[in-house]
Amino acid sequence: MYNDIRLDKLNEECGVFGIFNNDRHDVAHLTYYGLYSLQHRGQESAGIAVNDKGTILYHKDMGLVPEIFNKVVLEHLRGNIAIGHVRYSTTGASLRENAQPMVIKYRNGQMALAHNGNLVNAAELRGKMEETGTVFQSTIDSEVILNLISRYRISSGSTVEAITKTMKDIKGSYALVLLTSSKLIGIRDPLGIRPLCIGLLDNSFVLASETCALDAVGAEYIRDVNPGEIVVIDEDGLKSYQTEVKEKSQVCIFEFVYFARPDSFIDGASVHTARMEAGRLLSREHPVDADIVIGVPDSGLTAALGYSLESGIPYGQGLIKNRYVGRTFIQPDQSQRETGVRIKLNAIKSEIEGKRVIMVDDSIVRGTTTKRIVQILKNAGAKEVHMRVSSPPIKYPCYFGIDTPSRKQLVASTHSLEDIRQMIGADSLGYLSLEGLLKTPVGAKHSFCTACFHGQYPMEVPFEMDKFSCGC
């Protein structure tokens, strides 16, 4: 049974948003816009919870943000504090009951929670709680967190005390926005694995996974929530409580490589600049003679530009992406797979034909999409295709909030560089080194988790979890 719980959270990506209104803002509408700008972090379900004078109203469902909310729904969500969530899960847990925010009623009132990250000890904690009679409505670890906070709140003098105790119990990655009857609370795990930032819109504080959401609602970026920090926002403003942090921070480097939007800043570093730097370093590490540099839309484009600027080889737009194909796209069956990729991406023949092409992408996971794109370029008449990847080979699954498959499905975990080159049909293949990648988040205040490249996780990953994930 606990395996199911692990499975549910194993491959989950999310974004969170929160606002405490001290002006005359419509918090539900602002949260809607914030979530819209975080849609890239999760396209499966979304939800908003608002506090209406101590009562929490909420609406959540499966689908994209604009499919779930309309004017009538948003107008119903009246209140002065709001939190929101977008979620993506590849496992069997695509259930409405797993959509967030998670809302509970307990002895002291109501609370709602939105969570980005994964706990590695959720199954163990949940098992212990179930033994003492606790019932759960969902199979997600966020409910374990909410349950612990509410339990500790009964015996503690304050919500902050209850959260601090909860943080001692839970292990893993978490960027949380918590809504109580009078407060908006932001919490970042002691290693700061997932991002969380603070903004100010007039006199109203905003919390968001990425600064692009602050920009979307017109809020000014103030700072990031620090690893292990709890920020409590109420009518009196923002108060910070720093919990004990024993180890160096481990911010997820993959936020810079692939996940975050390029217009966001994380812990003081620009995602765009990081990708540009990655492209520049890639060009120095893996130069090749060619006629044109192209990027795989969207996350490979910035690195391709960096590669082009550094190498002096002209940048071109060789591939076009259909913007209307999202993760909800119905995959054709095996015999129609080629059609699937062609619908998503197509080559611009006039740019490619007869040329030696350098194709830059941010990462290779399974290798299947890359193989098809190389084929599309060759079919469009490319003389040579040189694949350049602006991150190192991904060999280990992420347990902390990035959707990566098990080791046996990660092509770099099971194949040599030359095998991968042959498999994807490229004329040459080069990956950015880890040393190079670590230089790319220019100005970042923290150190990074790079476990997906070498398997040294920032904390112990339960054996069964590893075993499960390896498919052994």
- Rounded to 5 degrees, φ, ψ at 89 are -140, 135
Kindly tell me which residue out of 32, 58, 205, 258 binds ligand AMP, with binding defined by CB under 6 A.
Answer: 258
CA-nearest of 378, 298, 381 to 344 is 298
- Rounded to 5 degrees, φ, ψ at 239 are -120, 140
Kindly tell me which residue out of 8, 277, 351, 403 binds ligand AMP, with binding defined by CB under 6 A.
Answer: 403
3-state SS class at 253: coil
CA-nearest of 225, 239, 101 to 160 is 239
CB neighbours (10 Å) of residue 77? 21
The verdict on whether 252 is a catalytic residue reads no
Query: 388 has which bridge partners?
Result: 360, 430
| Binding flag, residue 252, ligand AMP (CB under 6 A) | no
Kindly tell me which residue out of 299, 311, 390, 440 binds ligand AMP, with binding defined by CB under 6 A.
Answer: 299
Min dist. Cβ of residue 336 to ligand AMP (A): 17
Q: Which of 14, 197, 212, 252 is catalytic?
A: 14
Single out the segment in contact with ligand AMP by CB under 6 A; choices: 151-159, 350-358, 363-371, 426-434: 363-371
Please tell me the count of residues contacting ligand AMP according to CB under 6 A.
16
Single out the segment in contact with ligand AMP by CB under 6 A; choices: 1-9, 267-275, 276-284, 359-367: 359-367
| Binding flag, residue 375, ligand AMP (CB under 6 A) | no
Single out the segment in contact with ligand AMP by CB under 6 A; choices: 95-103, 162-170, 287-295, 355-363: 355-363
Kindly tell me which residue out of 156, 368, 433, 447 binds ligand AMP, with binding defined by CB under 6 A.
Answer: 368
DSSP letter (8 states) at residue 427: S
State the pairing for strand pair 251-252/448-449: parallel
Single out the segment in contact with ligand AMP by CB under 6 A; choices: 25-33, 329-337, 362-370, 442-450: 362-370
Min dist. Cβ of residue 366 to ligand AMP (A): 4
Single out the segment in contact with ligand AMP by CB under 6 A; choices: 43-51, 121-129, 399-407, 414-422: 399-407
CB neighbours (10 Å) of residue 145? 27
Residues 26 to 65 in contact with ligand AMP, rule: CB under 6 A: none
Kindly tell me which residue out of 143, 229, 361, 466 binds ligand AMP, with binding defined by CB under 6 A.
Answer: 361
Kindly tell me which residue out of 365, 377, 420, 444 binds ligand AMP, with binding defined by CB under 6 A.
Answer: 365
Task: Please identify, using beta-carbon distances, which residue of 51 and 404 lies nearer to ligand AMP.
Answer: 404
| Binding flag, residue 204, ligand AMP (CB under 6 A) | no
Q: Which residues, in sequence order, are CB contacts of 113 under 8 Å at separation 6+?
A: 83, 100, 101, 102, 142, 145, 146, 149, 176, 177, 178, 179
CA distance 342 to 322: 9
Amino acid at 314: P
Q: Are 171 and 459 in contact (CB under 8 A)?
A: yes
Task: Please identify, using beta-carbon distances, which residue of 184 and 365 lies nearer to ligand AMP.
Answer: 365
Kindly tell me which residue out of 342, 366, 395, 439 binds ligand AMP, with binding defined by CB under 6 A.
Answer: 366
Kindly tell me which residue out of 352, 364, 374, 387 binds ligand AMP, with binding defined by CB under 6 A.
Answer: 364
| Binding flag, residue 296, ligand AMP (CB under 6 A) | yes
CA distance 31 to 74: 10
Q: Are 16 and 177 in contact (CB under 8 A)?
A: yes
Min dist. Cβ of residue 282 to ligand AMP (A): 15
Pair of tokens at residue 426:
């490229």
CA distance 101 to 46: 8
CA-nearest of 259, 383, 261, 362 to 305 is 362
CA distance 78 to 27: 8
| Binding flag, residue 393, ligand AMP (CB under 6 A) | no
- Classify the C-alpha dihedral 113-114-119-122 as positive or negative: positive
| Binding flag, residue 399, ligand AMP (CB under 6 A) | no
Kindly tell me which residue out of 186, 227, 295, 367 binds ligand AMP, with binding defined by CB under 6 A.
Answer: 367
Kindly tell me which residue out of 369, 409, 428, 433 binds ligand AMP, with binding defined by CB under 6 A.
Answer: 369
| Binding flag, residue 89, ligand AMP (CB under 6 A) | no
- Rounded to 5 degrees, φ, ψ at 69 are -110, 140
CB neighbours (10 Å) of residue 312? 8
| Binding flag, residue 390, ligand AMP (CB under 6 A) | no
Min dist. Cβ of residue 90 to ligand AMP (A): 8
Min dist. Cβ of residue 367 to ligand AMP (A): 5
Min dist. Cβ of residue 459 to ligand AMP (A): 21
CA distance 194 to 208: 11
Q: Which residues are catalytic?
A: 14
User: Interface residues with ligand AMP (CB under 6 A)?
Assistant: 258, 296, 299, 361-370, 402-404
